Amino acid sequence: MTLRQFPKDFLWGAATAAYQIEGAWNEDGKGESIWDRFSHSPYRILNGDTGDVTCDHYHRMPEDVLLMKELGLKTYRFSIAWSRVLPEGRGAANEKGLDFYDRLVDNLLAAGIVPNATLYHWDLPQALQDQGGWPNRDSSDWFADYARLMFDRLGDRVAMWATHNEPWVVSFLGHAEGDFAPGIADYSQAFQTAHHLLLAHGKAVQVFRAGSYQGNIGIVLDLQHPQPATSSEADQAACQRRYDVTHGVFLDPLFKGRYPEMLFEWIGPHAPKIHDGDMALINQPIDFLGVNYYMTFVVRFACRGGLLKLALDYASAPNWGRTATEWGINPPGLLATLLNLKENYGNPNIYITENGCAVADVPDANGFVADTGRINYLRAHLLAAHEAVQAGVNLKGYYVWSLMDNFEWAHGLSKRFGLVRVEFETGQRIPKQSALWYRNVIAQNGVQE
Ligand code: FCB
């Protein structure tokens, strides 16, 4: 067995998001978010689950930071609930909400863990949704003001900031499919949202550069690798449309200052309204790109495939099956994703900000889970990441999704992604075998082939 070691100073971590773990949805002055509204509406979430309590991290934060320390994490990626710090989305700040993130950051630093804060992980304040939400161009200014509030408060201690998490999900699952909050199904609003998320990103980066804050700033994209089903022209063109709508729409403006032209021709009247100067604002240098990778898709032309006329299948790599969310396991897709960024987007600094899987965990009598499936998944993806480093990709760190079992959006509490098991009835935390394995990976700065 060979130990594949990562570069010195490689940052090993785990990730979570506010709505998925915090609970305390209406405590200490927190305002309602679109995910509160969505999960409280009947039949939006499997089994009627909500994030009202979930891991109760809001009350158990010190214990959770100690857990991170025991696992040897060097960094922790979390998100800030906008409606906890600005209950109405703008205007008066909520001191108790700010105080919570202050204490979180201080506890992390005391434990020797680098804080990596995401400003937007999908939970827009409902008050801003009521004013048109992301399709309203003003949203980019609301966001920049919120970003300034957080930079001013935590900017002396947070080493890494991300503006958005997965703008594709917000735009398209939230506004074109309606699967996720705010539950809108309208391609025009979806593309306008994508543009405003990018604009908001650009304005927040501008605010960050203008201040004298510590740390770096970037954005986190979900890049699930698309492959054409066959070499036919129709399938290849369909795959390109898929690439453009998941990758190109965000990567091209961020790194090249333009949108994928062919896609905008294809979608015609759904293309977003863009003002002079927008593209330059979006195309500002960032310090790092966060990549969330979970799966690879096979894409084919489909006569009845909706606006983009395509159909998708999950693609497992040879000898790999599927996860508990049915996602095909495909480690080579991660390598391909990273190489594409190196070759076509100027080899940016990259962190894998999410990677992991849901497993049908079975606890023993003590609540311990021997999750070898998760270990195999993580090991294979880390070996792919290692290959990318050897090929010259500027990969600086890796975060497992997730630190602990939590509220998995439309799947509610039914899908478990954690290194640590959470008993949702009692709040008890029990590290799984994967957590012990990961601790060893971190200690060795590498993974056994
Ligand atoms: C990503 C999300 C994250 C989590 C994982 C499984 O798309 O960013 O919150 O739900 O999927």
Residue nearest to atom 4 of ligand 1 (CA): 408
Confidence label for 132 from pLDDT (cuts 50, 70 and 90)? very high
Dihedrals phi, psi of 191, to nearest 5 degrees: -70, -35
Quick: pLDDT tens for 281-314: 999 999 999 999 999 999 999 999 999 999 999 9
| Active-site pick, 354, 423, 425, 449 | 354
Average pLDDT over residues 395-406: 99
Dihedrals phi, psi of 60, to nearest 5 degrees: -110, 15
* Residue 261 known to be catalytic: no
Instruction: Please report the domains of the chain, with CATH numbers, ordered by start residue.
Output: 3-448 (3.20.20.80)
Place of tokens 């403006």: 253
Contact 166 CB / ligand 1 (< 6 Å): yes
Query: Distance from the CA of 103 to the center of ligand 1, in angstroms?
Result: 25
Average pLDDT over residues 246-261: 98
Confidence label for 372 from pLDDT (cuts 50, 70 and 90)? very high
Q: Which residues make Cβ contacts (< 8 Å) with residue 136, sequence separation at least 6?
A: 196
Instruction: Give the residue among 346, 345, 319 at the shortest CA–CA distance from 330.
Output: 319
Query: Distance from the CA of 423 to the center of ligand 1, in angstroms?
Result: 20
pLDDT score for 369: 98
Contact 17 CB / ligand 1 (< 6 Å): yes
pLDDT score for 402: 98
Average pLDDT over residues 190-205: 99
pLDDT over 90 at 1, yes or no? no
Quick: pLDDT tens for 69-121: 999 999 999 999 999 999 999 999 999 999 999 999 999 999 999 999 999 99
| Active-site pick, 166, 177, 423, 425 | 166
Rounded CA gap, 154 and 203, in Å?
Answer: 18
Quick: pLDDT tens for 28-68: 999 999 999 999 999 999 999 999 999 999 999 999 999 99
pLDDT over 90 at 212, yes or no? no
pLDDT score for 39: 98
pLDDT over 90 at 388, yes or no? yes
Rounded CA gap, 78 and 401, in Å?
Answer: 11
Average pLDDT value over all residues in the chain: 98
pLDDT score for 272: 98
pLDDT over 90 at 143, yes or no? yes
Average pLDDT over residues 144-149: 98
pLDDT score for 162: 99
What are the distances in angstroms from CA 320 to CA 15, 317, 328, 336, 367?
Answer: 25, 5, 8, 17, 27
Query: Distance from the CA of 166 to the center of ligand 1, in angstroms?
Result: 8
Percent residues over pLDDT 90 in the chain: 100
pLDDT score for 417: 99
Q: Residues for the chain: how many in total?
A: 449
Quick: pLDDT tens for 307-335: 999 999 999 999 999 999 999 999 999 99
Contact 123 CB / ligand 1 (< 6 Å): no
Locate the ligand 1 atom nearest the alpha carbon of residue 356 and give its number.
Answer: 6
Confidence label for 416 from pLDDT (cuts 50, 70 and 90)? very high
Instruction: Give the residue among 376, 305, 290 at the shortest CA–CA distance from 338.
Output: 290
Contact 292 CB / ligand 1 (< 6 Å): yes
Please report, as a single letter, which amino acid is at residue 444. Answer: Q
Average pLDDT over residues 132-144: 99
pLDDT score for 313: 98
Contact 405 CB / ligand 1 (< 6 Å): no
Locate the ligand 1 atom nearest the alpha carbon of residue 358 and give its number.
Answer: 6
Locate the ligand 1 atom nearest the alpha carbon of residue 17 and give its number.
Answer: 9
* Residue 166 known to be catalytic: yes
Instruction: Give the residue among 95, 94, 96, 142 at the shortest CA–CA distance from 119.
Output: 142
Confidence label for 149 from pLDDT (cuts 50, 70 and 90)? very high
Rounded CA gap, 180 and 172, in Å?
Answer: 9
